[in-house]
Amino acid sequence: MYDGKGYLHFNYKASELAPKEKAARVSLENALNKIANIPAAERTFENTLLAYEEALDTYGDALGQAGFLAYVSTDEKLRNAALEQAQIISAYMVEVATRRDIYKAFKELESLKPNLPKIEAKMLKDTMIGFKKSGLALDDEKLEQFKEIAKQKSINSINFSKNIRDYKDYLDVTEEEMEGLPEDFKNKLEKVNGKYRVTLDYPDYGPFMLNAIKDEPRKILEYKYSRRGGKENVKIFEDTLMLRYKSARLLGYKNHAENRLDVRMAKNVKTVNNFLKDLEKKLKPLAKKEQKEFLKLKEQHTGVKSKVLQPWESGYWINLHKKLNYNIDPEIIKEYFQTDIVIKNMFEIFGNLFSVEFKEVKIPVWHESVKSYAVTDEETKKVLGYIYMDLFPRDGKYKHAACFDLVEGKLLKDGTYQKPFTAIVANLNPPSKNTPSLLKHGEVETLFHEFGHVLHNVLTEAKYSSISGTAVSQDFVEVPSQILENWAWEPTVLKRISKHYKTGKSLDDETINKMLAAKNHAAANFYLRQNFLAQIDMKYHTLTKPADTTTMWEKYAAKIKLTPMTKDTYPQASFDHLMGGYDAGYYGYLWAEVIAQDFFSEFQKHGLFNKEIGKKFRKEILAVGGSYDEEELVQNFLGRKISNEPFLKHIGLATNQK
């Protein structure tokens, strides 16, 4: 995993992955057998639970960053080999998690009722719940069924993501059809037979859908975009829904959602549905009011009267409405946000707030465009961990923006702390011949968001790897990322991170005021869409029999949100969240945002750059990871229960609810 200097290395060969895994598996089996053979009366936290965790860590470390390279390597052979190994490892982990002898060992430890400290007691409790959810309370026959289902689910998830990543389609458009697109956008596109090639990658797709004046090219591109993953992914998804249901029933739950939720803050489907329905009720009137404005604008410009905006036109008319009413052009604003300058100042702002420093260092990376940074504690001057930034698109690379936890922080046997390594992988606009990498303000928000996850990982002080960094309840994990987005809207921050790539000037006060005035433009439509995605996720994962998920999407899109689904498309085939860990969990974005905005209200009260509040947030939220229940984390930081008023205020809704 490490090179000779304590840094990660990424120089893997496809041919070495399988032998490494086999050797690591032998070592893991030996360690597990040793744990299983300890006499019942001699069991302790250290020789059972901690030994189990360390054995799994050692196995995971043996393949180093090969799994991560499946998402970012330029070597197709290595990517495919890493994906193949990921499938093998995932299937093997099902076997490990369902070993009867290991479960028996933990039952023996539990029966001794050890007098454990709070953190260790929570770990034992959570581990026992995990074993039960792995099917170990089942009889042998049902356990075998459960294991086979788990293996197939894992394979399905990997193939689903691969199908999206490998999906290739594009639209070749003429100069005339590029009307409305800025020159820097056109300059970075590949030209084929005299036409511009617009791919389905978001740096191409997003700007085109927002700015292309002609309707037909947008209609064709949106159709292609909404078919990503193909019908193969529709089948994989629908098969997986039934596999998840069968697993839940074997464990004694009514459906998959109930199985997933009982260990989260929300606890059950009823709570989630009430939360989402209440928010939908509040959003609908404002969203309808917004839609009337957009439809009116379309009629004024085209003479066409419509009842709804179609998916291929909503982005364009919403964007034009914003430009005309707030005199803000995202393409012009973008010229002020140079990626390097945004990142430099982001480091300084949050470094000061959380008492750390970020310094670029030359350590091994997986691609020449990747930059790496050491994170140093302001007071002790000790290096806490390392950050990588892989920000621009390339073939075979992960298509979205995400934070990857490469090495968890944890206390080692020799008393030292294992330094965490974490990476932001994104697909921002790359530099061109004439311009540096420039960010739309929404992309600045995304960068701040992912940096919140990075800080959660790299500033951890958690004692054990299983509770380190972002290892918290899934409906809490987005809190640190969502709270950081708020600083991307602060006037002093906007001044600081902006510098026009030609003039060198920061954003002026008038422009910033316009941006703030437009901050909640179409917010109700945005949050209603998020609400729809969360509700359709719940609908899918409370299914008890096979269903046509495309028809369900179409039905609930018409019912909940204001933009219908394009005919003959299947958006669920590229909804990677539902196959990549957010199944019955997409509501968590909204749930966590309520918490994040309440947390942010403390900074608003005491000062947005108040180092004492920053230190408190670092200590009570970022440093502890999953050491304590999330309700306790909230209480420790706020000194009270959560209020939804700051969230409602944040999105422009009345705050008369208590």
* pLDDT value for 648: 84
pLDDT, one tens digit per residue, over 223-245 is 999 999 999 999 999 999 999 99
Do the beta carbons of residue 406 and residue 423 sit within 8 Å?
yes
Within-domain flag for 357: yes
In terms of average pLDDT, the best of 143-147, 202-206, 486-490 is: 486-490
Q: Does residue 113 share a domain with residue 189? A: no
For the chain, the average pLDDT equals: 94
The verdict on 362 and 453 lying in the same domain is: yes
Please say if 46 is a catalytic residue. no
- In a shared domain, residues 209 and 349: no
Grade residue 509 by pLDDT with cuts at 50, 70 and 90. Answer: very high
> What percentage of the chain exceeds 70 in pLDDT?
99
The model's confidence at residue 562, banded by pLDDT at 50, 70 and 90, is confident
Kindly tell me if the per-residue pLDDT of 657 is higher than 60.
no
The span from the CA of 593 to the CA of 350, in Å, is 19
Confidence of residue 524 (pLDDT cuts 50, 70, 90): very high
Look up residue 586 and give its two tokens. 């997409």
What pLDDT score was predicted for residue 215? 96
Identity (one letter) of the amino acid at 302? Answer: T
Q: How many other C-beta atoms lie within 10 A of the C-beta of residue 68? A: 22
634 and 515 within one domain? yes
Residue 1 confidence class, pLDDT cut points 50, 70, 90: confident
d(CA 238, CA 401): 26
- Mean local confidence (pLDDT), 134-139: 92
Categorize the per-residue pLDDT at 64 as very low, low, confident or very high, splitting at 50, 70 and 90.
confident
512 shares its domain with 624: yes
Confidence (pTM): 0.83
Q: What CATH number is given to the structural domain containing 20?
A: 1.20.1050.40
Contact 99, 32 (CB under 8 A): yes
Q: Cβ distance 387 to 423 under 8 Å? A: yes
Instruction: Convert the pLDDT of each residue in 597-640 to its tens digit.
Output: 999 999 999 999 999 999 999 999 999 999 999 999 999 999 99
Is 413 a member of any domain?
Answer: yes
Do 200 and 170 contact (CB within 8 A), yes or no?
A: yes
Distance (Å, whole) CA 121 – CA 129 = 13
Helix, strand or coil, per DSSP, at residue 493: helix
Q: Which domain holds residue 195?
A: 168-225
Say whether both 369 and 461 belong to one domain: yes
Tell me which amino acid residue 490 is.
Answer: E
The pLDDT tens digits for 176-218 are 999 999 898 999 999 999 999 999 998 899 999 999 999 999 9
Determine the Cα–Cα distance for residues 287 and 307; give it in Å rounded to an integer. 14
Residue 301 is assigned to a structural domain of this protein: no
Beta carbons within 10 angstroms of residue 38's beta carbon: 16
CATH assignment at residue 465: 1.10.1370.40
Tell me the Cα Rg of the chain.
25
Starting at the edge strand found earlier in the chain, the sheet holding 195-199 runs 170-173, 195-199, 190-192
- Examine the domain organization and report whether 109 and 217 are in the same domain: no
Regarding whether 417 and 370 lie in a shared domain, the answer is yes
Asked if residue 562 belongs to a domain, the reply is no
Instruction: Report pLDDT for 203.
Output: 86
Residue 656 has pLDDT above 80, yes or no: no
Amino acid at 577: H
The residue assigned the tokens 């199944």 is 583
Which residues on neighbouring strands pair with residue 195, listed in sequence order?
A: 192
Q: Are residues 131 and 191 in the same domain?
A: no
Q: Which two tokens stand for residue 563?
A: 């933009």
- pLDDT grade, residue 465 (50/70/90)? very high
In a domain, 502, yes or no: yes
Inside any domain, residue 317: no
Residues 313, 314, 319, 320: what is their CA dihedral angle, to the nearest 10 degrees? 60
For residue 654, the model assigns a pLDDT of 63
Specify if 268 maps to a domain: no
- Euclidean distance between CA atoms 372 and 367, whole angstroms: 11
Residue 240 placed within a domain: no
Q: 86 and 172 share a domain?
A: no
**Alpha helix ranges (H) inside 459-522:** 479-485, 491-497, 509-517
Mean pLDDT of all residues in 377-383: 97
Does 658 score more than 90 pLDDT? no
pLDDT at 655 over 60: no
CA distances from 425 to 160, 368, 540, 580, 583 (A): 19, 14, 29, 16, 22
Phi, psi for residue 405 in degrees, rounded to 5: -85, 105
Query: Both 373 and 449 in a single domain?
Result: yes
Residue 399, pLDDT > 90, answer: no
Q: Which of 177, 204, 225 is where one domain is finished?
A: 225
Nearest Cα residue to 62 out of 146, 139, 134, 1: 1
Round to the nearest angstrom and report the end-to-end CA distance of the chain: 51
The residue type of 592 is A
Percent of the chain residues past pLDDT 90, beyond the cut: 88
Average pLDDT (388-394) is: 95
> What is the number of domains present in the chain?
3
User: Is 126 in the same domain as 180?
Assistant: no
Q: What share of the chain is helix, strand, coil (3-state, %, to 5)?
A: 60, 10, 35
Query: Which residue in the list 177, 443, 450, 593 is annotated as catalytic?
Result: 450
Up-side HSE of residue 109: CA atoms within 13 Å toward CB? 28
